[in-house]
Amino acid sequence: MAIRDPSNGAWAVGHGASVPLGETAAIMGILNVTPDSFSDGGRYADVDAAATAALAMAAAGAAIVDIGGESTRPGATPVEPIEEQRRVLPVIEALAGRPGLVLSIDTYRAETARLAVAAGAHIVNDVFGAQKDPGIARVAAETGAGICLMHTGREREALPDVIEDQFLFLRESLRIAETAGIRREAIVLDPGFGFAKDGPQNMILMHRFGELKALGHPLLVGTSRKRFVRGATGRSDPEPDVATAATSVLLRERGADIFRVHNVSANRDALAIADAMRAAVKGQVW
């Protein structure tokens, strides 16, 4: 059976919106409204500051802004659902309805996801791939929200082969999504760079990334400023956005569609070069 090419068309998300995919890479800007995220914790705790940052990301080229109220860095202290909601809902409400701005809620909790979509979020981005709280899949199905199902090695025993473990985990996430009734075009997959994966595993995953296209869904990646990216430079004071942009280009060449990043401008420019080359190879005018 032929494998469906997931890189054509669009990601169907909530509130009647969609994110075009295919010839141009889509960028998801990271907006953490937390005090303890590893890169930008505490910078956007104020609603006005967070909204201003989101609009700046959109102006720089982000198609999506991903809003998170709980840090997912290793060792971070979990927050209560009510605190997560207190952080994210006012920001979503402040940004909801802006033309051309697609909002994502970074959560693994079904109730937070439901409230966020009601407040105006278009996408649910779950770092546990709907396997920690399967009710989140029902939220996406019932509201029509897009969903990103991420692979993780946390809270489970992973297979030694990084790609085999990707298929094992993500196929279970897809089964949950299908059972809940999520439409196929609303699903995007994320291999979860840095989530219970060491440096060599992340690099092997990047090298073999193209194998994940066999899952038949668009692919989102989040390497931005992560430890394995900074460590690979061999420098004590690396330029994390430059290193991140290098991974973005490598992953674009291997089939990634959506790039979750802190520095939108740097990655937009790097990906524009990759896309221009792809267009030239296909004989398009640019």
Phi, psi (degrees; rounded to nearest 5) at 32: -95, 115
Catalytic residue among 197, 213, 225, 226: 226
Structure tokens at 111: 């109730």
Residue 66 to residues 29, 38, 251: CA-CA distances in angstroms? 6, 16, 20
226 is known as an active-site residue = yes
**What sign does the dihedral 26-20-143-87 (CA atoms) show?**
positive
260 is known as an active-site residue = yes
Structure tokens at 144: 């029509």
Buried b (16+ CB within 10 A) or exposed e, 54-91: bbebbebbbbbbbbbbbbbeeeeeebebeebbebbbbb
Strands (E) in the chain, as ranges, are: 9-12, 18-21, 26-32, 64-68, 102-106, 123-126, 146-150, 187-190, 220-221, 258-261
Catalytic residue among 87, 109, 213, 260: 260
Residues with a known catalytic role: 226, 260
